[in-house]
Structure formats: C-alpha cells, structure tokens
Amino acid sequence: MEVMANPRFRRQPSRFVRLRHLVQAAFLLAWMGPLGLRLHSLCGTVFHCYACPLSTFACPVGVLANFSALGVSPFIALGTLLVAGTLIGGFVCGWLCPFGLLQDLAAKVPVPKLRLPLRAGYLRYGVLVVLVLAIPYFFGESHPLFICRLCPAGALEAGLPLAVQNAAQGESFWNSMSTVKWVVLGLFLVAMFVKYRPWCTLFCPLGAILGLFNRVAVVRLKVDDRMCTSCGACKSACKIGLAPEKQLDDPLCIRCMQCTRCDAVHLTTVFDRKKPGNLAARAGTD
C-alpha cells in the first residue's frame, strides 16, 4: 500500500500540533525571563545553561553534575525531573525545551539530512553516566571532561555572549572559552543543520532521563490497533526515524506528535479509558 494513499493519513498535522513551535517560543519567557529573575536555587526541567545571562532557573544537568562532584544527592533536582517525567515524559523535549527549539528551527533549512542508526541514541546514556555522574564524582568539576566544560548549550548561551562582551571591551574574543568548547560549539552549529536534533538524539543526558518515562507518563501517545494498517505512514512522518506503531514509547521519542497525522495514533492520558484514546482528535484535527 502506498503510504500517502492511506485515507487515515493527513498531509498536514492538526492545528494543535502546528502550535508546537509557538508553545516552545512561549516557554522561553519562563526559561529566559525578561524580568531578569535569577532563581538558580530552583531547578528547571529543560536543557538550558544557568550561566546564560538570561537564565531564570538552574540547569538540571548542571545540578546533577555539580552535586555529583560534591558527593551529595540533589534531591530537589531529582524530584523535579521525577515529577516532570511522570507527568509528560518526552513532551518536555518536544514542547518545552529552548535548545530543542533552536535545533527544530535549524532543521527547517532545506539541506539533505543525515540519518544514523537509532542505536546511536544510546550514546546519551554514556554521556549521562560518564560525563555527568562518574567523572564529576571521581575527579571533580575541574576535569576537562566535566559535562559543563563540553556543553554546547553553555558555549552558545553563556560563552558566546561573554565573548561578545569581552570583544566590546577590547579584550580577546576567543579567550572567553577553551579551544575544546569552541570546537564543540562549531561542530554543533554545523550538525544541527544536517542532522535532525543532533544533540537531543545523540548526546542529551536530560533527554535520556525524561525519555525513560514515555511508557509511564500521565500524558502519552497511543496506537489504536483496530485502526492501524501497518502502512508505514507514521514512520514516514517521524523525523527521529522511529516506527511509532511499534516504538511509540521509545525513549528517543520527543513527542512532536507528527505521527498523529495518522488517525490510528492519538494523544491520551492514563485516565482516558476510551478505546481509542482521542485527545488529539478533540484538540483540533482538521
């Protein structure tokens, strides 16, 4: 069967799904508050460097790494991630994260995109275990592989503004960051145009944590087996490369909901006992 010939597959996502980038942009007012609030004693739920001049909350990855270096359990940060993961899981990545929004916008540039095997996504757990937890715990935050010394978000959101400020004051533009961090930033800026969400799908330790909740989150996606014809339409719509009919709860899924262009895939909650769950259909399908 031709994928696009499936009458249940819409050419355009629902009105609700088309609002995703606007929702992401709106959440910038929370993560990068215009009022200049610096609530770094509170942990956010997205990947956003707290050293950024406009950051409102602390970065959960930075908190985990710094507390690991101190040998202390970050109970508030862990509790924040547990609540966010339990409620919406990977929706944080697809709908709330400013670093994800940047990569989404870059992906719109019409250049050929690189597709890597899905198993490459397991690198995220290596980053989490090694760079965020193990190296800080055993070697401290001064180690060159400490996650904050390599983080592209930190380089872009904190290092680059500092470099501009230094240049404006007559100081060296390049000395604001280490050579390694400049290289990481350059590689990331190139990669986000040629690979869909390269940081999110390959390296993000926060996405690795939140994605584990996709199967158990209160808000989730669901496939109606009675409507699914295994035509492959949902897979063709997935920019990550997943086959939603079989991998809907995969930790790599960022819940962009492009797969809901097929009527067999629905947004639902643990409280929705209807068969099929159809929140997406009620939320503005065309």
Question: pLDDT per residue over 14-33, tens digit each?
Answer: 899 999 999 999 998 889 87
pLDDT at 4 over 90: no
Percent of the chain with pLDDT over 70: 92
Provide the pLDDT for residue 10: 81
Q: How confident is the model at residue 278 (pLDDT cuts 50, 70, 90)?
A: very low
Of 164, 145, 147, the C-alpha closest to 53 is 164
What is the rounded average pLDDT of the residues 112-126? 95
Provide the pLDDT for residue 1: 40
Q: What is the pLDDT of residues 43-53, one digit of tens each?
A: 999 999 999 99
What are the CA-CA distances from residue 43 to residues 159, 196, 235 (Å)?
Answer: 21, 27, 35
Q: What is the pLDDT of residues 122-151, one digit of tens each?
A: 999 999 999 999 999 999 999 999 999 999
What is the rounded average pLDDT of the residues 258-270? 92
Element containing residue 172 per DSSP (H, E): none
Provide the pLDDT for residue 196: 97
pLDDT at 240 over 80: yes
Q: What is the pLDDT of residues 47-89, one digit of tens each?
A: 999 999 999 999 999 999 999 999 999 999 999 999 999 999 9
Of 177, 35, 28, 44, the C-alpha closest to 100 is 28
Mean pLDDT for the chain overall: 91
DSSP class of 94: I
Provide the pLDDT for residue 280: 41
Q: How confident is the model at residue 276 (pLDDT cuts 50, 70, 90)?
A: very low
Measured CA to CA, the distance from residue 282 to residue 133 in angstroms comes to 42
Element containing residue 283 per DSSP (H, E): none
Rg (CA), the chain: 20
Provide the pLDDT for residue 5: 59
